[in-house]
Amino acid sequence: MTKKVLISTGGSGGHVVPAITIYNHLKHTHETLISTDIRGLKYLEKNYKAVIINTPKLNNYLLLPFSVLKILFLTVKSFFLLKKNNISILISTGGYMSLPICLAAKILGINTFLIEPNMVLGRANKFFLNFSKKLICYSKNLINLPYGINHKLTTIKPLIRKEYYETSVFKKNDNLFTIIIIGGSQGAKIFDELLNKSFVSIAEKVSIKIIHQTSEKNINFLKNFYSQKNIENKVFSFDHNFNEILKQGDLCITRAGASSLAELSLLNIPFVAIPLPSSKDNHQYENARYYKEQDCCWVIDQKNFDDQKFEKLLLKLTNKSQDYMTKKNNLQKLNYQNTWNNVNQKILKIINEN
């Protein structure tokens, strides 16, 4: 009998991308369903069966009583959802969005698997650790892992969408050094207002092309800015075929979300990470540090950002210096034997263990 699986996700792409990837790993062997909040819907294409569980945040103390009541209501809704669909396995990608469905799964005695894509254990995953069967993550050196839980921890290669494994090599028809900036679809002030000025300085010395992801409201401003400075550019907010855009890059400047770094790593694109200083438990810095320790990237502290040092680094990298080539070679070594099939077999083995 086919086991029925529900994957709980929502919020940012950092939660939804691993959920999509898990869904595609399991869809041929299990009957699979996804639950998400409203925010997570924009990352899901129409072919995914999605149920809305719109969990409120608990960080507004004035609305706390209302939020607690809503979570209780959503837990009851989740209880009947799991029961009606005869779900035997719950997979949660973490975040406060998972609270009602994980509580309902605990009540029903459903096997729960937690996914932790970051190098720091998230608070929701930490809360549900004792109720879970396995914690699936990318490194044994997970920060904030409670004592005595090691037996539940199992590691896999990062969850990367199948199309990234199938991305063909990009053949350039120009000599432009292409820099990709991933500010996220919400944008990032430092990426939109500081880095672009450095690119103007670089463009005076080297021929470059800029591909810049930003928020919808900043697209026209950045397009006009680069065009006025005679810098070839592509500016956009969100693209489902992001792998086709990424493969054009010689270098990427990015935040340090786990999925973004894993995708860049697989595509063998050296990157400069500028972690978001306000990320919970400083998890973005820890994500970047994992790659830095393996000499696969450069990490810049946003709080101490120095535009002159940044420009000096970029200028060196546009010449594909020895340091640049070392990072590129190390990324290739890091992804040795990282294939969709190998990851698929590992996931199926974990999920099907008695």
The per-residue pLDDT string of the chain (354 residues; one tens digit each, 9 = 90 and over) reads: 678 999 999 888 889 999 999 999 999 999 999 999 998 888 887 778 789 998 887 766 656 788 889 889 999 999 999 999 999 999 999 888 899 999 999 999 999 999 999 999 999 999 999 889 999 999 999 999 998 888 899 999 999 999 999 988 887 777 899 999 997 655 567 788 778 889 999 999 999 999 999 888 889 999 999 999 999 999 998 887 889 999 999 999 999 999 999 999 999 999 999 998 888 888 999 999 999 999 999 999 998 989 899 999 999 999 988 999 999 999 999 998 899 999 999 999 999 886
- pLDDT of 61 reads 60
Q: DSSP assignment, residue 96?
A: G
Pairing state between β 232-236 and 251-254: unpaired
Strand order in the sheet with 134-137: 50-52, 31-36, 4-8, 89-92, 111-116, 134-137, 153-155
Domains and CATH numbers, the chain: 4-157+338-352 (3.40.50.2000), 165-334 (3.40.50.2000)
Listed residue (74, 54, 56) closest to 9, CA to CA: 54
Give CA torsion, residues 125, 126, 131, 137, to 10 deg.
60
Cα→Cα distances 307→289, 314, 321, 332, Å: 21, 10, 20, 30
- pLDDT of 62 reads 58
Contacts 24+ apart (CB under 8 A), 40-43: 40/9, 40/10, 40/11, 40/12, 40/15, 40/16, 40/97, 42/238, 43/13, 43/16, 43/17
- pLDDT of 274 reads 94
- 252 in helix, strand or coil? strand
- pLDDT of 264 reads 96
CA Rg value for the chain: 21
Q: How far apart are CA 285 and CA 288, in angstroms?
A: 5
Q: How far apart are CA 136 and CA 153, in angstroms?
A: 6
Joined together, the tokens standing for residue 87 give 């779900």
